[in-house]
Each structure stands twice: as C-alpha cells, then as structure tokens.
C-alpha cells in the first residue's frame, strides 16, 4: 500500500470528532446477541474506495494472497463484516473477498481500524464493530457518482447494515490514485468528492455522516496533486 496521510473532508481533527461520535452513540448501544445467537454490530463503518481500501497486503506478487495475517488484522469476536450476501459474519482477512471483484485481495486497513477503535477508551463498552466492505480496485471517483454500480452497491449495503441494531458511524474513504493520471480528473476531483459526500448523506438520510478521507500519496508516473 502507498503511504498515506489522513485528512478529513471538513476539518483535520478526524479522531476527536470520531471519539465524540462514540460518546453520542454510547447511549444508543443495544445489547445484541442475547443467548449467543446471531450477532449484530452496534457501530457500523462503510469502507469504500479503490485498491488501497480493498486491501493488497500480501497480494502484490504472484497471483494469490500469501495468507499472512498480521496481529493487527487478526479476527476478533467483536468485529463483524457484512458479507457479499448481506449477512453479518465474523470479519476475517481478506475483508474484501467477494466484494473487490476480479482482483487478488489481501489485507487492508479495515481490521486495524476496528482493533484501534475497540481499544479506544472512548469506545462504548460492549461495542461490536460492523465493517461494510464496498471498495473496488482501480476505480476513479467517476465510478462512484450517484447512479453508478459502485455507488448504488455501497448505498444498498450501507442501508442493510444500518437497518438493525447498528448505527452507521462513519464512511471511510480511501481512493484517488486513479484520478491522478489525467489533469482533467485531478481538477474535477474536489467537486466530485463534494457531490459524492452530499449524495451519500442524503441517500442514507444521515445529513451529518462523518466521512474520513485518506489521501494516497501519488504514485509514478506522476502526476497531478489532488
Ligand atoms: C467504471 O466506469 C466505466 C465508465 O463508465 C465503466 O466502463 C466501468 O465498468 C466502471 N467500473 C466499475 C468497476 O464500475
């Protein structure tokens, strides 16, 4: 994966805001999985973007994932993923298996994010994280405008994920390299990103949905800064 600098769409203090969101959500946490039956998340995160989010760790040489799961990507009973067939299951790498179609997927940022969250003192007690993988390798932001396959798939998955005991806490967006190859794409990026966020917030009826945007460092040959 490319080194990345975390930035945020509206302001640069993503973590404090995220922690504030947890505080707000604490009151809404419901005890799920009574009797150990089907578990359900309490905090839901949408994971979208291109390969950096889809996950290529251990999958960049040869034609298969090497199967190595670093400790920060290990499964945990408190981290679920929404499967391609829209069911909650224990999250395991590769998180985007069956979602990031046509690509060799490996480990990505989703699991370390969930672990960090659950370790945070601000995380509500008993929280169960629900990850909703939606990324697709190589996609420019034009593939994510309202009405496109990627956008509609993401919104449909997010709606299912947010319909149960879990609240959609944030959208994690790790995308952009595909828009650094052509000058016109780079110049159009800010407007497209704004439209994307506006549309997602409206379609999910979450006008204050937190969006955490990660900016890729540019790759070669390059290119136009986003
Ligand atoms: C991205 O957009 C192009 C142009 O509309 C389209 O041909 C392609 O299928 C899209 N890719 C995905 C993954 O949606």
pLDDT at 214: 87
Inside any domain, residue 224: no
Inside any domain, residue 11: yes
pLDDT at 39: 85
| Residue bearing the bigger pLDDT, 191 or 217 | 191
Once rounded to an integer, what is the mean pLDDT over residues 192-197? 98
Residue with the smallest CA separation from ligand 1 atom 10 is: 143
Residue with the smallest CA separation from ligand 1 atom 9 is: 143
Q: Which two tokens stand for residue 72?
A: 């920060």
Which strands form 88-90's sheet, in the order they lie side by side? Answer: 4-8, 210-216, 167-174, 43-49, 129-133, 79-82, 88-90
Q: Residue 79 is part of which domain span? A: 3-55+71-204
Torsion of CA 2, 4, 10, 13, to 10 degrees: 160
Q: In angstroms, what is the span from residue 143 Cα to ligand 1's centroid?
A: 6
**Residue 14: band (very low, low, confident or very high) from pLDDT cuts 50, 70, 90:** low
181-193 pLDDT, tens digit per residue, is 999 999 999 999 9
Residue with the smallest CA separation from ligand 1 atom 2 is: 143
| Residue bearing the bigger pLDDT, 8 or 143 | 143
Inside any domain, residue 212: no
Whether pLDDT at 223 is above 70: no
Inside any domain, residue 211: no
pLDDT at 217: 62
For the chain, the domain total comes to 1
Using an 8 Å Cβ cutoff, are 25 and 43 in contact?
Answer: yes
Give the phi and the psi of residue 216 in degrees, each rounded to 5: -70, 145
Q: Indicate which CATH number applies to the domain containing 18.
A: 3.40.50.1110
67-121 pLDDT, tens digit per residue, is 999 999 999 999 999 999 999 999 999 999 999 999 999 999 999 999 999 999 9
Inside any domain, residue 190: yes
Helices 183-203 and 149-161: angle between axes, nearest 10 degrees: 30
What is the best residue among 103, 135, 141, 143 to mutate for testing ligand 1's pocket, by most ligand atoms within 8 Å of CB?
143
Q: In angstroms, what is the span from residue 149 Cα to ligand 1's centroid?
A: 8
Nearest atom (ligand 1) to Cα of 138: 13
Strand ranges in the chain using DSSP code E only, listed in sequence order: 4-8, 43-49, 79-82, 88-90, 129-133, 167-174, 210-216
| Residue bearing the bigger pLDDT, 123 or 37 | 123
Inside any domain, residue 220: no
Residue with the smallest CA separation from ligand 1 atom 1 is: 143
Per-residue b/e over 124-142, b at no fewer than 16 CB within 10 Å?
beebbbbbbbbbbbebbbe
Torsion of CA 82, 84, 87, 93, to 10 degrees: -50
Tell me how far apart the alpha carbons of residues 57 and 69 are, in angstroms, rounded to a whole number: 9
Nearest atom (ligand 1) to Cα of 140: 1
Q: In angstroms, what is the span from residue 35 Cα to ligand 1's centroid?
A: 44
Whether pLDDT at 218 is above 80: no
pLDDT at 189: 95
Question: Above pLDDT 90, what percent of the chain?
Answer: 74
Nearest atom (ligand 1) to Cα of 150: 14
Inside any domain, residue 215: no
**Residue 15: band (very low, low, confident or very high) from pLDDT cuts 50, 70, 90:** low
Kindly list the protein residues whose Cβ atom lies closer than 6 A to any atom of ligand 1.
136, 139, 143, 149-150
Inside any domain, residue 100: yes
Using an 8 Å Cβ cutoff, are 39 and 127 in contact?
Answer: no
Give the Cβ contact number of residue 78 at 10 Å: 20
Whether pLDDT at 37 is above 70: no
**Residue 178: band (very low, low, confident or very high) from pLDDT cuts 50, 70, 90:** very high
């Amino acid at each position: 994966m490319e080194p990345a600098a975390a930035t945020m769409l509206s302001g640069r203090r993503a973590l404090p805001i995220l922690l504030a969101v947890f505080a707000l959500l604490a009151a809404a946490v419901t005890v799920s999985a009574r009797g150990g039956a089907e578990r359900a998340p309490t905090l839901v995160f949408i994971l979208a973007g291109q390969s950096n989010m889809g996950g290529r760790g251990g999958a960049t040489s040869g034609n298969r994932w090497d199967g190595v799961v670093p400790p920060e990507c290990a499964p945990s009973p408190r981290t679920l993923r929404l499967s391609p067939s829209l069911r909650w299951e224990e999250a395991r790498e590769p998180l985007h298996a069956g979602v990031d179609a046509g690509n060799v997927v490996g480990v990505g940022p989703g699991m370390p994010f969930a672990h960090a969250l659950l370790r945070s003192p601000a995380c509500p007690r008993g929280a169960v994280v629900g990850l909703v993988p939606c990324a697709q390798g190589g996609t420019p932001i034009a593939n994510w405008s309202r009405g496109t396959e990627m956008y509609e798939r993401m919104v449909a998955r997010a709606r299912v994920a947010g319909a149960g005991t879990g609240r959609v806490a944030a959208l994690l967006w790790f995308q952009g390299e595909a828009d650094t190859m052509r000058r016109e794409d780079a110049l159009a990026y800010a407007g497209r990103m704004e439209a994307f966020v506006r549309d997602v917030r409206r379609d999910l009826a979450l006008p204050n949905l937190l969006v955490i945007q990660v900016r890729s460092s540019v790759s070669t040959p390059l290119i136009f800064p986003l």
